[in-house]
Chain A
Amino acid sequence: MNCKGAEEIFIEFLYGELDPERTEALRAHLGVCPACAARLNELARVREMVSQRPDPEPSSLAVQRVLAHARGEGTVHRPFWGLGWLKAVIPLCFAVIIGGWIVFQYTLTEQAKAPPALRQRAEEQTRPPQAPLIKEGPAPQTAPEPEKAKEFLPAQPRLDETPSAGKLGRAERPEASSESGPSLSPEKGSIQEETKVRVMPKEAERLRAPAAPSLIAPDVPTEPAPTRTTAPLKGRQLPATPPASDKGVEATGRAMDLEARPKIAAPAPLAQAPGVGGAAAPSVSSLMEEGEAFLKAREFQQAEEAFSQALHRLPRRHPDRPRALLGLARANEDLGRYGEASRLYETLADESPAHRDEALRKVRELGSRGD
């Protein structure tokens, strides 16, 4: 064996993959060639140092995430939780949620087309309680209004009957609140009390308006939306007090901040009680509604927090998990955390066949954006 032939098999020798026959030939050459021997010896030392360099280790959190992920996936294969069941239910849930969302978006868009009229209406509604706030039966309209606005604004007295009603009404409104709310539970009352110190006067007034008997009525198309102009957006007042009503107070106050507020994205989700029960902690559904509102308001940090909390409380396989994952992924994406967003989209793709294609597309898209 010559030097060239020896060098060609250095690597195999260094990594212990040289067969005995050639190892013997190499040794024979090294015995007579100090240059090759020295060379190989140096490379062997380098290789040894490389091999023995300690590596950093993964955090236990990363390992736990992996194991938790595997446990969650494992449940899919248990006979009791057949995949068929999920395949049937998850798309259904999403069809309902997305359908509701689209309808809701549409209604809000239509509603937004008539802000002046809504504003007028809202002013009307703030007049003193002595005035005939709620009338049975239709009332004449002041001016032609878009159809959608009418839907949301039940019959009202004429605007010109109560020209200066607004300010006066504001002062007296609190009196009306506790008596006139048809089904105000004590818990809800306390939430409103808590809320009023943190919200703008108009917002507070809205919250104090005669409360709605049908908070979760499926045919009530709108809910009060979070207002970015009020500081405690994270506060629980957003989902906790939707004064939806069929009694003519629907638009009270709400129209005043029409421009400022983001839209609430979804109706009450399927599996959650609506977030109006008065419990101290917000419901998962209200968290997600908040999150979606924050997304629309481009408050991604707060959206991320809301969805994180929601996700944290949703067990695996919960039908609302994909919605929370999607929201969290979008928030992270908009925050520029593409790695995290990508991971979330992947998880979404894993968990929800209905979202798989789109989620994987997002993963690829994010892959090309970089961090």
Chain B
Amino acid sequence: VSLDASRVQDLSDEELMARYARGEETAFEVLVSRYRKPLFGFLARYLGRTDKAEDVFQEVFFEVIRVRTRYRPGHRFASWLYRIARNRAVDRLRRNGFREMESLDDPLEGAGGETRLGTIAGSNPDPEAVVSGGQLAKVLDRALASLPPEQREVLWLKERSGLSLSEVAELLGVSENTVKSRLRYALEKVRSQLLEHGFAP
């Protein structure tokens, strides 16, 4: 029995994944549409480059496809998905020796020399950035990108996965207190960089 589109849209992630594991491709498409943006957001922010994020994004879903029958329906889908994503991203960063995070002004892939920061800031609808002519956005992005990988990882996982602090801790294999302190350090560091550039949060 095939469900109509609206009903599929209403299903939980876990139910969708279970259906996909049984061969229902529509369920997978709904999952991709749900996680396309947040997952890519996490990857792009964590990896610092959209071209690498694009690679890993595909790898993550290819992995989901490959191991779909191993998904346990009782397990939270977002945890499972972001665990795969995080592992892939860590591999990618290791492979690149973190060097890609060195320069925040690395040109975006195919972006005609425009910098990643410039691009993101330029497309920013945030009123804060409009008020400050995009400068705040630039400083903010630079501060975020300069965070140590383990802080960046926790920060963007928490922001873009929808997982709880304890779920993030479990995913990363660290204590919840570690997650909280990394988040705290990350926010503090961003705050101090904003202050350094004259932006009072």
Contact = CB atoms under 8 A, between A and B. Distances in A.
A49 B128 contact: yes
Interface string A236-273: 00000000000000000000000000000000000000
Contacts of A370: 95-97
A56 interface: yes
Interface stretch (A67-75, A99-107, A155-163, A195-203): A67-75
A74 B25 contact: yes
A65 interface: yes
A49 B128 CA distance: 9
Interface in B58-74: 58-59, 61-62, 65-66, 68
Contacts of B124: 53-54
Contact of B190 (A15, A50, A368): A50
B150 interface: no
Interface in B105-154: 116, 119-120, 123-126, 128, 136-137, 140-141, 144
Contacts of B40: 55-58
Interface in A39-65: 42-43, 45-47, 49-59, 62-63, 65
B53 A58 contact: yes
Interface in A71-124: 71, 73-74, 77-78
A87 to B, nearest CB: 16
Nearest to A7: B184
A339 interface: yes
B158 interface: yes
Nearest to A55: B41
B77 interface: no
Contacts of A338: 95
B187 A51 contact: no
Which among B58, B120, B124, B155 has the greatest number of chain A C-beta atoms within 10 A? Answer: B58
Given A17-B165, A53-B126, A367-B95, A46 B54 contact: no
Contacts of A53: 120, 124, 126, 137, 140-141, 144
Interface of chain A, main secondary structure: helix
A368 B92 CA distance: 9
A69 B62 contact: yes
Contact of A10 (B29, B116, B184): B184
A77 B125 CA distance: 45
Contacts of A279: none
Given A50-B144, A57-B37, A70-B29, A62 B96 contact: no
Contacts of A172: none
A55 B136 CA distance: 16
Contacts of A67: 28-29, 32
Interface in A1-47: 10-12, 14-15, 17, 42-43, 45-47
B65 A73 contact: yes
A343 interface: yes
Contact of B119 (A56, A77, A367, A368): A56
Contact of A52 (B29, B50, B59, B126): B126
A211 B59 CA distance: 49
Contacts of B44: 55-56
A26 to B, nearest CB: 14
A206 B189 CA distance: 73
B120 A54 contact: yes
Interface in B140-180: 140-141, 144, 155, 158-160, 164-165, 180
Contacts of B123: 54
A368 B95 CA distance: 6
Nearest to A11: B180
A42 B201 contact: yes
30 contacts: A10-B184, A11-B180, A15-B165, A15-B183, A43-B187, A43-B188, A46-B194, A46-B201, A50-B144, A50-B159, A50-B190, A53-B140, A53-B144, A54-B120, A55-B38, A55-B40, A56-B53, A56-B119, A59-B54, A63-B36, A65-B58, A66-B58, A67-B29, A67-B32, A69-B65, A70-B20, A73-B65, A350-B65, A367-B91, A370-B95
Interface of A: 10-12, 14-15, 17, 42-43, 45-47, 49-59, 62-63, 65-67, 69-71, 73-74, 77-78, 338-339, 343, 346-347, 350, 367-371
